[in-house]
Amino acid sequence: MSRPDALSERLLTAAVLRERFSQSSPPAVMRDDAAPDRLRPAAVLVPLVERGDGLTVLLTRRTDHLHHHPGQVSFPGGRVEAGDKDAEMTALRETHEEIGLHPDRVELLGVLSEYHTGTGFRVTPVVGLIQPPFDLTPDTFEVAEIFEVPLSFLIDPANRRQEQLLIDGRARTYYAMPWQHHHIWGATAGMLVMLSRFLGEPE
C-alpha cells in the first residue's frame, strides 16, 4: 500500500476511516524504551475533527504546574478508574472532564493497540470522530490550550523525527513532530505513529 502522505488528500476521509476500523487489525503494541514491567491502565481519546478542508487531530497542551508531564502536548485522557467498564468509557469520561466535550458528540471508530509509557502506563488510544460545531470548556487547572493539527501532516513520515533525552543517566529515544510553536513528542507522537501505521504506513 502507498505511504499515507501520498494518499492523504484522496483517502483521509471519515468514510474511509470508518471502513478501515471495521476491517483492519490494530498495529503492534508500542513501548517506550524505558517502559517498566508493571504498568497501570489508562486510555486517551484521539479526536479526529471533520473540517471542510480535511480531518484534523484535536490536541491539548497541559498546564505548566502539573506534576505529570507539565506543559506537554497530549491527547485528552487519563488512568482507568474503578467504575469504568472499558477503555472507551475512560477516554470519553476523561475528555469530558478535561475539555468539556460531551460523549454524545463523539462517534467511536475503534481502538489502537496499547502504548506502554516510560512513566508506567499502558495506554489504550481510542479513536473518535467529531462533527462540528461543538463547544469546548477546558479545565483550566489541567489544560492550557486546545488546538488542531491536520491529520495529513501528523501521519506524514517526512514531518517526524527521532530525538533523545537523557533521563536518570540513560538516553531515551522518542518520536517528535514539531508543529508551528508546538513540540509534539513522546507518547503522543508515538501514538500518532501507530495511527499512521494503522492507515497503511509500512513499518
CB 143 within 8 A of CB 69: no
Dihedral pair phi/psi, residue 161, rounded to 5°: -145, 165
Dihedral pair phi/psi, residue 129, rounded to 5°: -105, 135
Looking at the chain, the whole-number percentage of residues with pLDDT higher than 90 is: 69
Question: Has residue 8 got a pLDDT over 80?
Answer: no
The per-residue pLDDT of the chain, averaged, comes to 89
Dihedral pair phi/psi, residue 97, rounded to 5°: -70, -40
Whole-number pLDDT of residue 161: 95
Question: Has residue 1 got a pLDDT over 50?
Answer: no
Cell numbers found for residue 12: 483521509
Whole-number pLDDT of residue 3: 45
* Residue 130 CA: distances (Å) to CA of 36, 107, 184: 34, 6, 21
Which one is predicted more confidently, 122 or 171?
Answer: 122
Whole-number pLDDT of residue 9: 52
Question: Has residue 2 got a pLDDT over 60?
Answer: no
Distance, in Å, from the CA atom of 192 to the CA atom of 203, rounded to the nearest integer, reads 13
Q: What is the pLDDT of residues 59-97, one digit of tens each?
A: 999 886 655 655 689 999 999 999 999 999 999 999 999
Residues belonging to the chain: 203
Give the predicted TM-score (pTM) of the model. 0.91
Longest dimension (CA), the chain: 47
Q: How far is CA 58 from the centre of its chain?
A: 9
Residue 151's CB: how many other CB atoms inside 10 A? Answer: 24
Looking at the chain, the whole-number percentage of residues with pLDDT higher than 70 is: 89
Which one is predicted more confidently, 2 or 33?
Answer: 33
